[in-house]
Amino acid sequence: MSDAAWAHVCRSMEELRALAGAVNLLSWDQETYMPPRGAAARGEQLAALQGLGHERLVDPRLGEALERAEAAPGDEERRAALAALRFDRDRAVRVPVALVKELARSQSRGVQAWRTAREASAFARFAPELTHLVELRREMADALGVPPGGERYDALLEGYEPGMRVARLEPLLRRLAGWLAPLADRAASATVEDGFLRGRFEAGAQWDFTLELLEAMGFDLQAGRQDRSAHPFSTGIDPGDVRLTTRIHEELPLSAIFSTLHEGGHGLYEQGLPERWRGSVLGAAASYGLHESQSRLWENQVGRSLPFWRHFLPRLAARFPSLAGVPVEAFHRAANKVERTLIRVEADEVTYNLHIVLRFELEVALLRGQLQVADLPAAWSDRCAALLGVRPARDAEGCLQDIHWAWGEIGYFPTYTLGNLYAASLFAAAGRDLPGLEEEIGTGNLAPLLGWLREKVHRAGRTLPAEELVRRATGAGLTDEDLRRALTAKVERLCRT
Amino acid sequence: MSDAAWAHVCRSMEELRALAGAVNLLSWDQETYMPPRGAAARGEQLAALQGLGHERLVDPRLGEALERAEAAPGDEERRAALAALRFDRDRAVRVPVALVKELARSQSRGVQAWRTAREASAFARFAPELTHLVELRREMADALGVPPGGERYDALLEGYEPGMRVARLEPLLRRLAGWLAPLADRAASATVEDGFLRGRFEAGAQWDFTLELLEAMGFDLQAGRQDRSAHPFSTGIDPGDVRLTTRIHEELPLSAIFSTLHEGGHGLYEQGLPERWRGSVLGAAASYGLHESQSRLWENQVGRSLPFWRHFLPRLAARFPSLAGVPVEAFHRAANKVERTLIRVEADEVTYNLHIVLRFELEVALLRGQLQVADLPAAWSDRCAALLGVRPARDAEGCLQDIHWAWGEIGYFPTYTLGNLYAASLFAAAGRDLPGLEEEIGTGNLAPLLGWLREKVHRAGRTLPAEELVRRATGAGLTDEDLRRALTAKVERLCRT
């Protein structure tokens, strides 16, 4: 009896994965190759597939099969799959279909209003839609259920970072801001000569160098590919089909490099998910924060390190002779230049998390009702000045810079900082486990690091909560100590040389 | 009441179209950008989406809504939509799910066996799978229902060319073969000097020229795109999103040109389907044969004509200076060289239909049980010698050359010849309706022809049967007279000059 139930659960999981894979491919194509006039039909295709996926997930027959399978759960792996599917299904079932549809409509209107508002730098044009979106997210949080002793924000956070709570994030981010701000001051005082990064760096040669990087990272181009898009992203259709994009600016040669390292890190995680879970809910990342840790680790811990550039600067200079005479220390300094600026996506490794603290504080306040949407620009401006030491002259450079809220995504931003923290802790643990890791990186051998990540992170899929997985890999849970240590050492070095 | 029923029907049609669009994109990606290791998951995604589409089409709730809507059908357009949906649904309902699944499995095994067999040129390795596939197609024909006075083949033909029957095709193709064979002899006697087509024609310049052709044809690159693939094909995801592919051989400069004209012709049909039918069963081609008529018309009637090359040869020569001195008549002769050869996809305009007659005869005999699969190679060899005057030395160049039977596609081949016949008749009618058409083509103005096709063919979608549509456009139904007249005139001209 329970065998039949488990078989039903497996068929459902396979269908859900197939639908999700199709959605991911359609979304990838939308940003890469779709002709402009295909947009309307694409919207309908995505809505239809997502609707079908939701319908299958909440199907009462799946609910019955799941209950029967849970009654005789079998081995550990099966138990983990049942728990993960239960998690997804319960969240899907709890939100009324009417609310899902209203949210979809409002997101679409929200993004349109946000684009118009950002172009005109006029927050008022976006405010009504954002007010409605915040209201819908509050309703959604109530429908999902606020955890005991928690608050609405926790119910949303649970969708990105299962188990995480405002009560843990608030003190953590406060402490983080406490040491990041003076560190940013110290770092900004370092002299950075980066004139060699000015000029024109031909797109084709940049592209070839990013492919060289992907190959060095161990990204399997038989099981994935890189293309160009306006905003870099990555998507895992299957461990055998992982799509990355990068963005090339001919005047900003570091942009494509760090985009590729970042998206390549996401891609390695997706390629490292066990193939036997292709059709299972377990063949996925443990959390958004853990996913981000993989991109940040390759972008920052590896890609902004001195050993990395010892190996790769001569290779880059082989493609761009103007860099031939640049000392590696000077290049490393330029790749780590710290500045107090307004735009999150252009921020350096030190100030980046201050941008996240700003957004987290404001969205928690919005959801609690402590901050009204109309007061957001002023609040943004004040907190930005306090945290980052700069004040936006226009909303377009302030609270209108990110698309997340226009999508109604509230609770997403902290996963960026969780990713930075996990990345630092994982890299520190890899360094302890793998003596000579820096030397290997310095010779361009990134395989030992990838092997460690495969074993400690990728191959677990969704069998463990993110923090538990990190604890097993590093010996400790979520902490800002490793990032503090690494960034402090880096800044000291930059100020010394 | 019937409004609610019609609304249900409309929602179902929209969902079916969205699923079909997703399937088409996934299939396009499979042949263009998918990394090799993505194949397994892609197979699962396609199977899941096709399974969902089938499930929706046979859903009893749709059946009830359709019946209620048919009871109060409304205007002509609605009646046409209900009839087309009824046609699709009845065919889907009649075939047992077990047979559909067995066919899908056997197709997949069939294609694998065919590849192995073709590589080794050993038909025996493919024979068991083909025997099973023929058996399944006979079962399917019985399930679909043989039309009164007809035979099993008719039931399959109905899926590609509704209304067409063996009883009409047999005498038509016999007559066609009767005049094509002597015409091919006559044409093959013409002296053709094509040394200027030898050498290396750089891929990038070829690519640019194919885009120039698409633009001249009126293919909207905001509503579609061209990419490269091993085997050229086209797919309509939406009138606003039509994907073409072409294949470039640096030593065969005509290959990409005629591939692009051919696929571009298909693409113009898809782009010309009315946008208001985006979510309706009417927003599709009337038949496979009619679709093929659009590709053949641009490839042969336009692309192999003297006026066309008067305009485009200088443009081609601007990209390939080695062609600069070639007289347009000589180029036109080279583009129309007739040879009795073994391979269908490389055949010229005159002998092409003889390849189809061969396949049609054999597959009808297979389905009737008059020919056993084991005897296919010998039968192929004999009929090939009789029809084309050449005999394959190896099965790979004979009955193993096409993939169609490996897919279990029986009844598809005649649509190629129907396309050629309809193309000739439509082009002749366009010439009568548009005085000066040849002169316009000779100046590179292809817009009047496209306008005529839009009005007479594309904009009707699936509201009329293919032959009825052709009759309204040309004044006559299916006939080989127009093709005979055009090919005879062309061959006489080639033999004269």
Return all residues near A287 (Cβ < 8 A) that are at least 6 apart.
A160, A161, A162, A164, A415, A418, A465, A466
Q: Most A CBs within 10 Å: which of B44, B54, B57, B234, as the mutation test of the A interface? A: B44
Q: Are strands A241-246 and B234-238 parallel, antiparallel or unpaired?
A: unpaired
Above pLDDT 90, what percent of chain A?
A: 95
**CATH number of the structural domain A104-497:** 1.10.1370.30
Q: How far apart are CA B405 and CA B134, in angstroms?
A: 9
Torsion angle of C-alpha atoms A91, A94, A97, A103, degrees rounded to 10 = -60
Q: How far apart are CA B214 and CA B202, in angstroms?
A: 19
Q: Which of A316, A313, A285, A267 is nearest to A450 (CA)?
A: A267
- Mean pLDDT score, A401-410: 94
B346 touching A (Cβ < 8 Å)? no
- Mean pLDDT score, B372-401: 97
- Is A263 among the residues known to form the active site? yes
A215 touching B (Cβ < 8 Å)? no
Q: Most A CBs within 10 Å: which of B14, B241, B244, B271, as the mutation test of the A interface? A: B241
Above pLDDT 90, what percent of chain B?
A: 95
Q: Are A306 and A332 in contact (CB under 8 A)?
A: yes
pLDDT of A294 reads: 98
pLDDT of A167 reads: 98
pLDDT of A225 reads: 98
**Between 1.10.150.120, 1.10.357.20, 2.60.40.180, 1.10.1370.30, what CATH number should domain B162-497 receive?**
1.10.1370.30
pLDDT of A2 reads: 72
Q: How far apart are CA A360 and CA A350, in angstroms?
A: 17
* pLDDT of A497 higher than 90: no
Choice among A129, A263, A292, A299 that is catalytic? A263
- Mean pLDDT score, B278-297: 97
- List the structure tokens of A353: 């998390």
- Mean pLDDT value across chain A: 96
Q: What is the pLDDT of residues B237-272, one digit of tens each?
A: 999 999 999 999 999 999 999 999 999 999 999 999
Choose the closest CB to B37 out of A48, A240, A279. A240
Choose the closest CB to B240 out of A33, A37, A52. A37
Which of residues B496 and A491 earns the better pLDDT score? A491
* pLDDT of A15 higher than 90: yes
Q: Which of A394, A388, A392, A288 is nearest to A348 (CA)?
A: A388
Which of residues A30 and B73 earns the better pLDDT score? A30
pLDDT of B104 reads: 87
Q: What is the pLDDT of residues A20-50, one digit of tens each?
A: 999 999 999 999 999 999 999 999 999 999 9
Domain coordinates in residue numbering, chain B: 1-94, 162-497
Q: Which helix (H) or strand (E) holds A425?
A: helix A414-433
Chain B residues within an 8 Å CB radius of A204:
none
Chain B residues within an 8 Å CB radius of A20:
none
The Cα of B35 is separated from the nearest Cα of chain A by a number of Å equal to 5
The three-class DSSP label of residue A166 is helix
The Cα of A25 is separated from the nearest Cα of chain B by a number of Å equal to 7
Q: What is the pLDDT of residues A282-327, one digit of tens each?
A: 999 999 999 999 999 999 999 999 999 999 999 999 999 999 999 9
A270 touching B (Cβ < 8 Å)? no
Residues 405-434 of B with CB under 8 A from A: none
- Mean pLDDT value across chain B: 96
- Mean pLDDT score, A102-121: 92
The Cα of B143 is separated from the nearest Cα of chain A by a number of Å equal to 28
pLDDT of B382 reads: 97
B274 touching A (Cβ < 8 Å)? no
A222 touching B (Cβ < 8 Å)? yes
The three-class DSSP label of residue A246 is strand
Q: What is the pLDDT of residues B312-325, one digit of tens each?
A: 999 999 999 999 99
Return all residues near A483 (Cβ < 8 A) that are at least 6 apart.
A176, A420, A421, A423, A424, A425
* pLDDT of A154 higher than 80: yes
- Mean pLDDT score, A464-474: 98
Q: What is the pTM of this model?
A: 0.95
Above pLDDT 70, what percent of chain B?
A: 100
Contact B41 A241 (CB under 8 A): yes
Within 10 angstroms of residue A60's Cβ, the number of other Cβ atoms is 8
